[in-house]
Amino acid sequence: MRITAAVLEEYGKPFTLTELDIGEPRAGEVLVRIVATGICHTDGLAQQADLPFPTPGVLGHEGAGIVERVGPGVTSVLPGDPVIIGWPWCGRCTRCRGGRPRYCEHLAQLLAGGGRPDGSTALSRDGKPIHSHFFGQSSFATYAICAETSLVKAPPSGAVELLGPLACGVATGAGAVFNALQPDLGASMVVYGAGTVGLAAIMAARNTGASTIIAVDLHESRLALARRFGATHTVDARAHDPVVAVKDICGSRLADFALECTGKIAVVRQAIDSVGMLGTACLIGGAPAGATFEADHMSTLWGKRIVGLLGGENTSEALIGGLLELHAQGRFPFDELVQEFPLEQINQALEASLSGAVLKPVLRMPA
Ligand SMILES: [Zn+2]
Ligand SMILES: [Zn+2]
């Protein structure tokens, strides 16, 4: 079948819209007609070769759409079902079977191997393979082939085009709070970076007992959004040293939790320095390949935890399902971060995301 896709021909180059062929879904696979897909900073990292997805290939990993056809053995979805494409997982390794599919032993291959685990690709051009299955989907395209196990059913009445970002960026921020940090009543939390991931974390924190929620950013417009979504304090890092500000707000005990959402190494240090004894500094922002950070040894030794966290943890089904319910109740208004672009404006949309002009671009596929 012929599809339209935005192809990354070479690292560092803009995406080019082109026609490709897509194969039929194999056993356990589903062909999804993509209605819309979010753009995440990880797409930008892959474009710049900081996440080594092979070229030529199709990126995109926040797809949502309608099931078109199912392969042999697929029972959980039917043609016509609206779905969100979550993270892939093998389902067989110790971590998957132990309920930790975000840390599947085959994750690197499933996210960025460039095709199915057996090395085949779903996409081709003039008979030559084009790399597919980025995060198990490659959704910068009008259709994608995904594993049945990565799909999450969307509500039949909802606007599926808004829901793709729940699969990665939004889930990463919110899941960190709900699944990993789980702040107690009265806890304090500082969120570095009020982009999509950080704002999703703040929206999530407002649904917990955390009573001090501090947002740090360089842009007043984002700090205003952070206040609207639940931040109790905001710090403009251009005007104030954020670690000093956190100490002023939380006292000498510092914050219980810090979430680093920017991927900037100088900010990683600030996040680590913002938590005190038994505090947790959590790294969820993507930095360029090879980046390293330093931490103060003595204060870390005193019971501080520095943890990395992928994709909001838990299963996509539990995470996206829960966020959909909070959203329906008006308690998780992530859709206010979305700005739509047509697929042909993918390069402008990614640029707007990286510059911070747009919080969460979502690409609409041509009808
Ligand atoms: Zn696995
Ligand atoms: Zn992502």
- For residue 185, the domain's CATH number is 3.40.50.720
Domain housing 98: 2-168+313-326+333-364
Residue 169 CA to ligand 2 centre (angstroms): 5
Pick from 68, 67, 21, 4: nearest CA to 365: 4
Q: Where do the H-state alpha helices sit in 40-168?
A: 41-47, 94-97, 107-112
* Beta-strand relationship, 128-130 and 57-58: unpaired
Residue 303 CA to ligand 2 centre (angstroms): 31
User: Tokens 């078109």 appear where?
Assistant: 68
Are 183 and 153 members of one domain? no
Those residues whose C-beta lies under 8 Å from the C-beta of residue 319, and which sit 6 or more positions away, are 86, 166, 171, 174, 175, 178, 179, 312, 313
Residue 150 CA to ligand 2 centre (angstroms): 15
CATH value at residue 49:
3.90.180.10
**Nearest-ligand number for the alpha carbon of 310:** 2
Q: Where do the H-state alpha helices sit in the chain?
A: 41-47, 94-97, 107-112, 169-175, 196-205, 220-229, 242-250, 265-273, 297-301, 316-328, 346-355
**What φ, ψ does residue 24 adopt, rounded to 5°?**
-85, 150
Residue 359 CA to ligand 1 centre (angstroms): 32
Residue 93 CA to ligand 1 centre (angstroms): 4
Are 149 and 179 members of one domain? no
SS3 percent helix, strand, coil of the chain, rounded to 5, is: 30, 25, 40
Are 39 and 86 members of one domain? yes
Are 31 and 126 members of one domain? yes
User: Which amino acid appears at position 305 of this protein?
Assistant: R
Low-confidence ranges of the chain (pLDDT < 70): none
Residue 40 CA to ligand 2 centre (angstroms): 5
Are 143 and 255 members of one domain? no
Query: In the chain, what's the furthest Cα-to-Cα distance?
Result: 64
Are 241 and 285 members of one domain? yes
Count of other CB atoms within 10 angstroms of residue 355: 8
CA distances from 353 to 41, 150, 261, 298 (A): 7, 25, 14, 38
On whether the CB atoms of residues 335 and 162 are closer than 8 A, the answer is yes
Structural domain count of the chain: 2
198's tokens: 């950080």
What is the pLDDT, as a whole number, of residue 48?
92
Helix (H) or strand (E) holding 348: helix 346-355
Are 256 and 272 members of one domain? yes
Residue 291 CA to ligand 2 centre (angstroms): 18
Are 15 and 119 members of one domain? yes
Are 202 and 286 members of one domain? yes
122's tokens: 């779903």
Burial of 316 (0-12, 13-18, 19+ CB in 10 A): buried
What is the pLDDT, as a whole number, of residue 158?
75
**Nearest-ligand number for the alpha carbon of 91:** 1
Are 215 and 252 members of one domain? yes
Are 267 and 140 members of one domain? no
CA distances from 78 to 64, 136, 358 (A): 15, 19, 35
Residue 106 CA to ligand 1 centre (angstroms): 6
Are 132 and 221 members of one domain? no
Residue 112 CA to ligand 1 centre (angstroms): 15
**Nearest-ligand number for the alpha carbon of 92:** 1
> What are the helix and strand counts (H, E) for the chain?
11, 18
Pick from 229, 216, 261: nearest CA to 337: 229
Q: Where do the H-state alpha helices sit in 2-147?
A: 41-47, 94-97, 107-112
**Nearest-ligand number for the alpha carbon of 45:** 2
Residue 249 CA to ligand 2 centre (angstroms): 32
